[in-house]
């Protein structure tokens, strides 16, 4: 096939087409005149563009502007069924899957709990079941999906195809697993670290919008970070960039053979386990039967309530101890962040994951104040705003970005 040269009418038309499609995705249904104004195209050129996109099945007429008859009042939108993608969020407890149409609207979901111990063969079957379940909920079959992005703890080493930094995720460490999944699923598959995908979600939908250089610190079942430089994720040579749970930090014992122990200093200093340890030291009760990250999040929510309670209330009686819990935990978080800030000097730090979200603005402000004393750079520090299934949201956004590049390319 002959490639179109840059600057040719064919390429310029394709650039205008893509600009119009991106505007429709961002703003929703638009009229011809509005698209012309936003793109800077003349009315005849905008009309030709929309006719071309409509003939290609990429846009549809959704109605007319209120009170304005005639073809110039017609409203155009991206055809949602042009393509569908799926995203998966894999944890130790299960797999959460979702399907989105090309506009980004979620049209199907499926959740699949997984047993604590399973073989690699079972893992492949569970992934296929999750994809099929979400597709079925969307009224589709797996063959209708253009792309699937799977988020897991740790990272797949590109040189070996094996999952690293996630020894706690059973069934995902077979060297043949990726080949088996590729054989079972007929669409392109991509795999990424769960925290990287949370950063994608914040970049495209949340608090990091417009930031080209930012660090996302994640704390849920484990600690991790994602680094975006120049608008692009930095994954590292083996995919392990951001595995900050292994980071040696002051205030904890030096961990040797970190890969074998599966943990390190920063995880011990500021992970969910640190919240529970502080609670024990301060004599604060918590649900010891709950998963560690859920118990830690509940403690931080209790701390917020107690420190905000009025004098004389039952909650205020423990305000001193809860306030100390928040302060000491914030110091632990800021200690590790100070090392990262000194090396990376990011524009923005986003605090994300269930444990950090539970601490709310009170914890964020305490961390900001501590970090200002421990580090020379002063990056902006914010809470993540994509709080509902951020890893899954990021997986869908990642799949959509690649798929839109493919299906919106009208230069071919």
- Percent of the chain at pLDDT > 90 equals 71
Site of tokens 């995720």:
169
pLDDT of residue 161 exceeding 90: no
Evaluate whether 83-199+392-407 and 209-385 have a shared fold. Answer: yes
pLDDT of residue 410 exceeding 70: yes
Q: Are 75 and 371 in contact (CB under 8 A)?
A: no
Q: Are 110 and 102 in contact (CB under 8 A)?
A: no
Per-residue pLDDT of 124-139, as tens digits, reads 899 999 999 999 999 9
The architecture in CATH of the region 209-385 reads: 2-Layer Sandwich (3.30)
Scored b (16 or more CB within 10 A) or e, 183-199 reads: eebebbbebbbbbbbbb
**What's the confidence (pLDDT) of residue 1?**
44
Per-residue pLDDT of 176-213, as tens digits, reads 888 889 999 999 999 999 999 999 999 999 999 999 99
pLDDT of residue 99 exceeding 90: yes
Structure tokens at 95: 């797999």
What CA–CA distance (Å, rounded) separates 248 from 236?
19
Confidence class of residue 165 from pLDDT cuts 50, 70 and 90?
Answer: confident
What CA–CA distance (Å, rounded) separates 318 from 349?
31
Q: Are 118 and 171 in contact (CB under 8 A)?
A: yes
DSSP secondary structure of 307-353 = HHSPTTSTGGGGHHHHHHHHHHHHHHHHHHHHHHHHHH--SEEEEES
What CA–CA distance (Å, rounded) separates 240 from 343?
16
pLDDT of residue 367 exceeding 70: yes
Structure tokens at 81: 């069924």
Confidence class of residue 284 from pLDDT cuts 50, 70 and 90?
Answer: very high
pTM (whole model) above 0.75: yes
Can you give the length of the chain in residues?
412
**What's the confidence (pLDDT) of residue 310?**
64
- Percent of the chain at pLDDT > 70 equals 91
Per-residue pLDDT of 228-244, as tens digits, reads 999 999 999 888 899 89
Please give the CATH number for the structural domain made up of 9-78.
1.10.10.10
pLDDT of residue 9 exceeding 50: yes
Comparing 316 with 218, the larger pLDDT belongs to 218
Comparing 155 with 402, the larger pLDDT belongs to 402
**What's the confidence (pLDDT) of residue 48?**
92
Per-residue pLDDT of 330-346, as tens digits, reads 999 999 999 999 999 99
Per-residue pLDDT of 256-269, as tens digits, reads 877 666 667 899 99
Average model confidence (pLDDT) for the chain? 90
Where do the structural domains in the chain lie, given as residue ranges? 9-78, 83-199+392-407, 209-385
Per-residue pLDDT of 344-359, as tens digits, reads 999 999 999 999 999 9
Per-residue pLDDT of 18-61, as tens digits, reads 999 999 999 999 999 999 999 999 989 999 999 999 999 999 99
At the fourth CATH level, the homologous superfamily of domain 83-199+392-407 is ATPase, nucleotide binding domain (3.30.420.40)
**Rounded average pLDDT over 297-310:** 90
pLDDT of residue 396 exceeding 60: yes
């Amino acid at each position: 096939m002959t490639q179109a040269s840059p600057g040719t009418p064919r390429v310029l038309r394709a650039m205008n087409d893509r600009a119009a499609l991106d505007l429709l995705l961002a703003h929703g249904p638009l009229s011809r005149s509005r698209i012309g104004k936003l793109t800077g195209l003349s009315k005849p050129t905008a009309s030709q563009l929309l006719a071309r996109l409509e003939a290609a099945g990429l846009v549809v007429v959704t109605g007319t502007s209120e009170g304005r008859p005639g073809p110039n009042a017609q409203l155009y939108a991206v055809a949602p069924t042009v393509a569908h993608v799926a995203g998966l969020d894999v944890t130790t407890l299960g797999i959460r899957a979702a399907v989105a149409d090309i506009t980004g609207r979620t049209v199907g979901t499926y959740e699949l709990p997984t047993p604590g111990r399973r073989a690699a063969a079972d893992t492949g079957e569970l992934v296929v079941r999750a994809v099929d379940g979400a597709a079925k909920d969307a009224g589709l079959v797996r063959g209708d999906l253009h792309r699937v992005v799977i988020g897991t703890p740790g990272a797949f080493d590109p040189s070996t195809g094996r999952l690293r930094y996630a020894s706690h995720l059973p069934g995902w460490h077979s060297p043949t697993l990726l080949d088996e999944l590729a054989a079972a699923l007929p669409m392109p598959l991509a795999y990424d670290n769960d925290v990287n995908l949370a950063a994608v979600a914040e970049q495209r939908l949340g608090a990091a919008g417009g930031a080209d250089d930012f660090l996302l610190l994640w704390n849920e079942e484990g600690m991790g970070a994602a680094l975006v430089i120049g608008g692009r994720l930095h994954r590292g040579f083996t995919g392990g960039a951001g595995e900050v749970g292994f980071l040696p930090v002051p205030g904890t014992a030096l961990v040797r053979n970190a890969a074998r122990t599966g943990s390190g200093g920063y995880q011990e200093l500021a992970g969910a386990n640190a919240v529970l340890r502080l609670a024990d030291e301060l004599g604060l009760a918590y649900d010891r039967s709950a998963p560690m990250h859920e118990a830690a999040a509940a403690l931080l929510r209790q701390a917020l309530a107690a420190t905000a309670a009025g004098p004389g209330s039952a909650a205020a009686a423990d305000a001193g101890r809860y306030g100390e819990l928040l302060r000491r935990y914030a110091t632990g978080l800021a200690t590790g962040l100070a090392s990262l800030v000194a090396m990376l000097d990011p524009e923005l730090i986003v605090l994300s994951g269930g444990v950090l979200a539970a601490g709310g603005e009170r914890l964020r402000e305490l961390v900001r104040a501590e970090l200002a004393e421990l580090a020379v750079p002063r990056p902006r520090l914010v809470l993540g705003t994509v709080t509902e299934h951020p890893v899954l949201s990021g997986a869908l956004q990642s799949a959509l970005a690649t798929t839109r590049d493919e299906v919106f390319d009208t230069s071919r």
